[in-house]
Structure 1
Amino acid sequence: MRNFRYGPYRDGPDPLAPPYDVRAAVDAVGDSVMSGKGTAEALRELLRRGSQGLRGLNDLLRQVRRRREELRGSGRLDDVLAGARELLDRAVEQERDALAADPGDDARLREAELDSLPADTAQAVRQLADYGWRSPEAAATFEELRALLRSEILDSRFQGMKQALGGADPEAMRRVREMMADLNAMLDADDRGEHTQADFDRFMERHGDLFPDRPENLEELVDSLARRAAAAGRMLASLTPDQRAELEALMNDAMDRAGLGQELSGLSDRLRARRPDLDWSSGERFTGEGSLGMGDATTAIEELADLAEVEGALRQNYPGARLDDVDPEAVRRALGRSAVDDLARLRQIERELEEQGYLRRSGGKLSLTPKAVRRIGESALGRMFNGSTATRRGGHDDRRAGHSGEPTGASRPWEFGDSQPVDVVRTVRNAVLRGERREGGVSGGVRLRVEDFEVAETERRSGAAVCLLVDLSYSMALRGTWGPAKETALALHTLITTRFPQDAVEIIGFSNYARPLPATGLVDLEWDMVQGTNLHHALLIAGRHIDRHPGFDPIVLVVTDGEPTAHLLPDGRSWFDWPPSEETLALTLAEVDKMTRRKAVMNIFMLAPDERLLAFVEEVARRNGGRVFSPASENLGEYVVSDFLRSRRARSGG
C-alpha cells in the first residue's frame, strides 16, 4: 500500500478555500461611500485594507518597507575595494619575502619599485601589470586579484556571471567575449529593423547558460540587462567620489586587459539608449556591517529599484488607478510568489465587482450600480433589524379582507367595482349548480351569469404615503451624522420597496432648497456646503407627495440637526437668516399645520442638543401631535425604522 502525507497546501492559494464573498466587499465599499468617500476611493480603501483573511495592499506595502530596510542594512558597498587592496598588499608582502633572501642589486631595485607604489589601488595595480614576479605565490595572488575584479565586474552587469566563470579560466573569458560581441551585433541588427526571433533563439542556443533567468525574446533580455546595468550605475553613485574614481579605474583596467572594455562600454550605451526611463545615477545608502561584493551590491540595488517600482504601483494614488497596472513580475522579483498570489486575489475582487454588476466605469469614473445600491440598502436594513427590539413585535399587516395582499382562501360574490381576481372554480360551480336546479340537468354547456361570479378575498394591507425629510446641511457632516442619515434613508427606502410595495415613499433632502432624492443617488450623495435649513420647502414637497396619494396613510419623518433658517420667497428664491427670522418660523409652522390637517403625524429625529432646535420641535409636537426623538447618531436608523413600523401598525389597526 502507498503511504500518503498530509499538510498545508503551499503552492499558491488554497484551492479548497471558500470563495471570497463579493457581497461583503460591496458592503465594505458601501460603508465607505456612505461616510462621504468617492466610489473609487472606497474601493482603494478596501483593497488596501483587505478582508476575509486576505492580505491587502497595506500589508504588501509593509512587506516592501521591511525588505527595503533589510537590504539597506545588509552590508557596505566598498568591500570590492577593500578586498582588492587586501589581495594587493598580500602579493606585495609575498614578493618582499622572496626578495629579502636575494642579496643582489636586482632584488634591491625591485624592493625600491615596490616601495614607490602609489597609495591608490587602481594605480598600483596598473603599475604592477607588467611586473616580473619573483615569488610564484605573489604572482598567483596578483592573478587572483585580477580574476576577482573580472568576475565582480561582469557579475555586476550579468547576474550569475560569477558562478558561470568559475575562476580565471581563459576559455570562460573567451566565451564571455563572444557572447558580448554577438549581443552587441544583435542589438545593432534590431536597431536596423533586421532582427528576428530566430536570431534570438540562435543566440540563446549558444549563450543561454550565461543567462539564468532564461529570457524568451530580445525585449525581455534588454529589460533584464538594462535594469542590471542601471543598478550597477547606482551602486557606483552610492560610493564617495574618491572610492568611485578608484573603483572605476580598477574596472576599466581589468576589462581592457580582458579584452572586454570596448564591448562592455558599447553595451552600456545601447542599453541606456533603449531604457532612458530607468534610474541610472541615484545613490543608495547602505548601513550594514557585513561585506558586499560588486555583484551582490548591484543585486541589492536592483532589488531596491524593484521595490520602489512595486511600492509606487501598490499605492494606487493616481487618477484611474487599477490593480491591473501592477506588474506581477516586478512583484514576484521584489516580494516572492506568495505576494503575486495575494495580488491576483485582490485583482479578482476588483474584476468580480465589475463583472457581477456592482461597479461601473464610465468615462474613467467608477460608480455604484443600482444593484450595488440595493445590496447596500439590504445590508443597512439588516443591521437595523438586528439591533432593533421594536421590529420583533410583528409587521403592519391588516388581517381584514381587502383588495390587496395574500389570498385568504375564501371568496365572496362579485360586486361592481371589485378589482380582486375572479375565483374561476367557484364561479363555474355556481353556474353548473344553477343550471341543474332550474333545468333538471345541464345541457348545451354552461352559461355564466353575473350572479354566478365570485372573487377571491385577499388580506387587506393599508397603503402609506411615506416622506422622509433628511437635512443635507454642512453641519450634518461636521457633527458626523451625515453617514448615519444617508444609511437610514437608504434602509427605510429598502424596507418599504421590498416589504411594503403598496406604500409610496419619497425621500427629500433639504438645505437652502429641498429636492426629492432617488434611491440610486443616496449612497454617494454629498452634503451641500451652503447656508440654510429650508424645512419649509421640504414640507411643501412632502405635502404634494401626500396629496398625490389620497387614501394612503400619511407618514412624515424628519431628520435634522438644526432649526429652520431658510424659507421660500413668493418668487421661488430661498431666503436665509440666522437667527431664524419670524417669517421663516411662521411659514414653516404653517406647513406643519397643513400636515396636521392632512392627518399626517410628523415625528422628528433631533441629532443635536440645541436649545433653539428643541424649542422648535416641541412647538411642532404640540401643534401636530407627533413625537420627538433624540437618538445617538449610531442608533438613528434603528429609531427611524422602528418608528415607521410602529406608525404603520397603529394606522392599520394591527
Structure 2
Amino acid sequence: MIGYRFSQFVPPQDGGDPFERLLKVFMELLTHTSGDVSEALNWMNQLDRQYGLTDNEYGMGDFIEDLKKNGYIEDDQEASGSFQITAKSEQTIRQRSLEEIFGKLKRSGRGNHRSHNVGFGDEPLSELKGFEFGDSVENIAFTESFRNAQINHGIDDFQLTENDLSVREKEHRTSVSTVLMIDISHSMILYGEDRITPAKKVAMALSELILRKYPKDTLDIIVFGNDAWQIQIKDLPYLQVGPYHTNTVAGLELAMDILRRRKTTNKQIFMITDGKPTCIREGARYYKNSYGLDRKILNKTLNLGAQCRRLKIPITTFMIARDNWLVEFVQEFTRVNNGRAFYTSLQGLGEYIFEDFIRNRKKRVR
C-alpha cells in the first residue's frame, strides 16, 4: 500500500529526549552566567540535586558528554579541565531568545521592510495599473495586457497599444541601519535586580530576527559605561556589567559615528538603560556625578539628542526604571530628539522593542 497511515500521537511518558530537556536549562543558565560553562554546569548540578533533573538512565555526566559530542562545548585551551561554548551554542542562544521574546512572530520569507508606498521595488503585488511613461518594461503584465487588447480592438483587428498595457505594482523595500545601545553600568545589577540579562536577550533576539528576516539591514551593538565601545553579535552571551557610571554621551557619539558611515536612508538608535547620565569624558579625565541630574552632563546629552534630530536619526529609549528624576530626564531627551520613550518592566521589554522595530520599518524616510 502506497501512502501514509496516521495515528494519534502519544507523547513519551519520560518527557521526551532528556538531552533536549537539559539543553533548554543549560542555554538559559549560559545567558545568566555570561557564557561561563563551569558556573552553568555547577548550577545544573545543584538543580539536579534539588529537583531531580536526571535519573538513573541519563545522568549529568552523560549530558556533558553529549554537549561535547553535539558541538555545544569544547575544551578550553587556556584552562585545563574547563570548557567553553562554541559558535553553535552562541547561535542557539540567540535563536532561543528570538523564540522566547518574539514567539508570536509569523514565519515569513526573507525580505526587507515594507512601505505603504507602491512603485519600483522587488516585491510584486496583485494590483495592476495602466502603463505610464517611465514604468519599467519588466513590470508589464503581458497576459492582462493582451486581454485588454482583445477587449479593446477585437480578434480580427488585433493590435497592442500603449493604452492596453497594464503594469504590476511592486512594493517599496527599505533597508534600515539600527544601532542598539546597551547600558552596562553598575546600576544594571543594583538592588538585587538583574536587568542586564533581559537586555542581552533582547539584543540577541533582535540580531537573530534581522539576520533571518531582514538580511539587507544592518545592526550594530554598542555598550556604554564610563566609555562606549562596539561589540559583535557573537559577543552578546558573554556581556557583563562593570563597575561603571553611565556615559550616555559616549554611547550616542559612537552610535552617530557608526550611522554616519552607513549609506542607508533610514537610520535609528535604540537605547536600553535604567539610569540617568552620570559621566562624561573631558580629555584624559572623567567628570562624574551620581547624585541627581547634573546640568553639565545633561546639557551635553541633550545637545547630542538634538543633533540626531537634525540628522533625522530618531532615538527610541527603553527605560527599565521609573524613578521620578529618570522619567524627567527621558521626557526632556525625547522632546529634544523628537523620538519615542517606553517605560517598561523587564518582562515586557522584548515585546516593546519588537513592536517598535517592526513599526519603524513600515515607514519610508524621504
The AA in structure 2 aligned to 1:555 is: Q
**Equivalent residue number for residue 524 of structure 1:** 238
**Equivalent residue number for residue 176 of structure 2:** 464
Task: State the identity %.
Answer: 26
Change (3 A) 1:575 1:492: same
**Cα contact 2:33–2:39 (8 A) shared by 1:** no
* Distance in 2 (alpha carbons) for counterparts of 1:577 and 1:19: 53
Question: After superposition, where does 1:11-160 map in structure 2 within 5 Å?
Answer: 18-22=16-20, 24-36=21-33, 38-49=36-47, 56-58=48-50
**Equivalent residue number for residue 58 of structure 2:** 342
Change (3 A) 1:407 1:361: farther
Instruction: Describe the superposition over 1:3-62 as per-residue Cα deviations: whole angstroms up to 9, x where unpaired.
Output: xxxxxxxxxxx9x9953353x54432232232246322213323443xxxxxx354679x
What are the ranges of 5 or more consecutive residues in structure 1 without an aligned counterpart?
Answer: 1-13, 50-55, 62-313, 315-337, 427-456
The AA in structure 1 aligned to 2:351 is: E
How far did residue 537 of structure 1 move? Answer: 0.4
**Equivalent residue number for residue 543 of structure 1:** 256
* Distance in 1 (alpha carbons) for counterparts of 2:194 and 2:52: 32
Computed over aligned residues only, the root mean square deviation of the Cα atoms, in angstroms, reads: 3.5
Change (3 A) 1:541 1:402: farther
How far did residue 458 of structure 1 move? Answer: 7.5
**Cα contact 1:513–1:574 (8 A) shared by 2:** no
* Distance in 2 (alpha carbons) for counterparts of 1:550 and 1:374: 28
* Distance in 2 (alpha carbons) for counterparts of 1:640 and 1:541: 21
**Cα contact 1:387–1:638 (8 A) shared by 2:** no
**Equivalent residue number for residue 202 of structure 2:** 488
Instruction: Describe the superposition over 1:473-529 as per-residue Cα deviations: whole angstroms up to 9, x where unpaired.
Output: 111112321211111111111111111111111111111111112112111211012
Question: After superposition, where does 1:45-444 map in structure 2 within 5 Å?
Answer: 45-49=43-47, 56-58=48-50, 339=56, 341-343=57-59, 346-363=60-77, 364=80, 365-386=82-103, 396-398=113-115, 400=118, 402=120
The AA in structure 2 aligned to 1:601 is: P
Query: Secondary structure, in 3 states, of the residue corresponding to 2:268?
Result: strand
The AA in structure 1 aligned to 2:256 is: G
The AA in structure 2 aligned to 1:596 is: R
**Structure with greater helix percent:** 1
* Distance in 2 (alpha carbons) for counterparts of 1:382 and 1:354: 24
* Distance in 2 (alpha carbons) for counterparts of 1:539 and 1:17: 48
Runs of 4+ in 1 over 6 A off after TM superposition: 407-410
The AA in structure 2 aligned to 1:464 is: V
**Cα contact 1:485–1:559 (8 A) shared by 2:** yes
* Distance in 2 (alpha carbons) for counterparts of 1:406 and 1:46: 48
Matched, 1:594 2:311: no
* Distance in 1 (alpha carbons) for counterparts of 2:247 and 2:297: 9
Query: Secondary structure, in 3 states, of the residue corresponding to 1:591?
Result: helix
Higher relative contact order (CA 8 A, sep 6+): 2
**Equivalent residue number for residue 553 of structure 1:** 266
Matched, 1:585 2:298: yes
**Equivalent residue number for residue 504 of structure 1:** 218
**How many matched pairs?**
308
The AA in structure 1 aligned to 2:93 is: I
Change (3 A) 1:44 1:458: farther
The AA in structure 2 aligned to 1:598 is: L
The AA in structure 2 aligned to 1:577 is: N
Change (3 A) 1:17 1:516: closer
The AA in structure 2 aligned to 1:475 is: S
**Cα contact 2:113–2:175 (8 A) shared by 1:** no
**Cα contact 1:27–1:375 (8 A) shared by 2:** no
Matched, 1:639 2:355: no
Change (3 A) 1:30 1:620: same
* Distance in 1 (alpha carbons) for counterparts of 2:178 and 2:31: 22
Match for residue 574 of structure 1 among 275, 281, 286: 286
* Distance in 1 (alpha carbons) for counterparts of 2:188 and 2:178: 23
Query: Secondary structure, in 3 states, of the residue corresponding to 1:498?
Result: helix
**Cα contact 2:102–2:205 (8 A) shared by 1:** no
Query: Secondary structure, in 3 states, of the residue corresponding to 2:194?
Result: coil
* Distance in 2 (alpha carbons) for counterparts of 1:402 and 1:360: 49
How far did residue 397 of structure 1 move? Answer: 2.3
Query: Secondary structure, in 3 states, of the residue corresponding to 1:397?
Result: strand
How far did residue 375 of structure 1 move? Answer: 1.5
* Distance in 2 (alpha carbons) for counterparts of 1:568 and 1:585: 13
Change (3 A) 1:578 1:45: closer
TM-score by length of 1: 0.43
* Distance in 2 (alpha carbons) for counterparts of 1:582 and 1:652: 33
**Equivalent residue number for residue 227 of structure 2:** 513
The AA in structure 1 aligned to 2:83 is: L
How far did residue 612 of structure 1 move? Answer: 1.8
**Cα contact 1:396–1:648 (8 A) shared by 2:** yes
Matched, 1:607 2:320: yes
**Structure with greater strand percent:** 2
Query: Secondary structure, in 3 states, of the residue corresponding to 2:63?
Result: helix
The AA in structure 2 aligned to 1:650 is: K
The AA in structure 2 aligned to 1:33 is: L
**Cα contact 1:514–1:537 (8 A) shared by 2:** yes
**Cα contact 2:278–2:289 (8 A) shared by 1:** yes
What are the ranges of 5 or more consecutive residues in structure 2 without an aligned counterpart?
Answer: 1-11, 143-168
The AA in structure 2 aligned to 1:634 is: Q
Query: Secondary structure, in 3 states, of the residue corresponding to 1:477?
Result: helix
How far did residue 406 of structure 1 move? Answer: 5.6
* Distance in 1 (alpha carbons) for counterparts of 2:25 and 2:213: 24
How far did residue 401 of structure 1 move? Answer: 5.3
The AA in structure 1 aligned to 2:42 is: R
**Cα contact 1:26–1:372 (8 A) shared by 2:** no
How far did residue 635 of structure 1 move? Answer: 1.2
**Cα contact 1:26–1:375 (8 A) shared by 2:** no
How far did residue 572 of structure 1 move? Answer: 5.5
Change (3 A) 1:518 1:27: farther
* Distance in 1 (alpha carbons) for counterparts of 2:305 and 2:330: 11
**Cα contact 1:27–1:376 (8 A) shared by 2:** no
The structure number with the bigger radius of gyration is: 1
